[in-house]
């Protein structure tokens, strides 16, 4: 694969979507071929509404995310990377490990076993973790969906999960302060990205 896979992670409200768009625009400005994508919904679009609106068991929630991710990897991510594109994904597997693993309490060993088959082992080259205190994240969500309405204790566990994942893979993760203004956060992302640019 000749392309470069980048992901953005963090709590709801951390600014992932904004930063993903800014990053994709920057890369396009450098003359690179870019694919901007997101999870859930880029593999199986109908799954997004189901996940955000239906009351589901943690197991069903994770398996739906995994079904969407399996299609996303096979039909979107791998073809783009094989074409030499730079892929910027707003969320990927780390979201499930943080939310369904640390947040919902599902065993990480099972999540990773399912993930290995769903993702074919595909990992981002770099993952930008936009770290935000849960109290601040909740203030940024005026009309929370089902996932976002899980409460402060849930988001604290998710944040702790993200930080644990980043400590386990320091070569992949870049942990950034998401309380900074969007422009400053974008500049910080670019600083970490520069060594990868052609």
139 labelled as ligand-binding? no
Q: Helix/strand/coil (H, E, C) string of 36-87?
A: EEECCCCCCHHHHHHHHHCCCCHHHHHHHHHHHHHHHHHHHHHHHHHCCCEE
Mean pLDDT of 141-161: 80
Q: What is the pLDDT of residues 55-72, one digit of tens each?
A: 899 999 999 999 999 999
Higher pLDDT, 143 or 163: 163
d(CA 112, CA 93): 9
150 labelled as ligand-binding? no
16 labelled as ligand-binding? yes
**Is the per-residue pLDDT at 145 higher than 70?**
no
14 labelled as ligand-binding? yes
Q: What is the pLDDT of residues 12-45, one digit of tens each?
A: 999 999 999 999 999 999 999 999 999 999 988 8
Mean pLDDT of 157-167: 98
Least confident of 65-74, 120-129, 143-152, 159-168: 143-152
Percent with pLDDT over 90 in the chain: 83
Measure the CA dihedral 12/13/15/20, to 10°: 30
Strand runs (DSSP E) across 99-196, as ranges? Answer: 126-131, 173-177
d(CA 100, CA 47): 16
Percent with pLDDT over 70 in the chain: 96
The whole-number pLDDT of residue 148 equals 58
17 labelled as ligand-binding? yes
**Is the per-residue pLDDT at 149 higher than 80?**
no
Among 44, 58, 53, CA closest to 144: 53
Mean of per-residue pLDDT scores for the chain: 94
Angle at 100 between CA 99 and CA 106, to 5 degrees: 140
Higher pLDDT, 142 or 33: 33
Whether this prediction's pTM lies above 0.85 is answered by yes
CATH topology of domain 4-196: Rossmann fold (3.40.50)
Mean pLDDT of 116-139: 95
């Amino acid at each position: 694969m000749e392309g470069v896979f980048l992901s953005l992670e963090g709590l709801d409200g951390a600014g992932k979507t904004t930063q993903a768009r800014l990053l994709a625009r920057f890369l396009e400005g450098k003359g690179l071929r870019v694919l901007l994508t997101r999870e859930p919904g880029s593999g199986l679009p109908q799954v997004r509404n189901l996940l955000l609106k239906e009351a589901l068991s943690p197991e069903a929630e994770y398996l739906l995310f995994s079904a969407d991710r399996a299609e996303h990897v096979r039909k979107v991510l791998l073809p783009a990377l094989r074409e030499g594109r730079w892929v910027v994904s707003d969320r990927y597997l780390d979201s499930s490990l943080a939310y369904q693993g640390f947040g919902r309490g599902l065993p990480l060993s099972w999540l990773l076993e399912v993930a290995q088959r769903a993702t074919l082992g595909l990992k981002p080259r770099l993952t930008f973790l936009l770290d935000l205190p849960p109290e601040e994240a909740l203030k940024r969500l005026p009309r929370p969906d089902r996932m976002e309405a899980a409460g402060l204790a849930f988001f604290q566990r998710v944040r702790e999960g993200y930080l644990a994942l980043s400590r386990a893979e320091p070569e992949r993760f870049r942990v950034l302060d998401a309380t900074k203004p969007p422009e400053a956060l974008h500049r910080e992302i670019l600083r970490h990205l520069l060594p990868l640019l052609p």
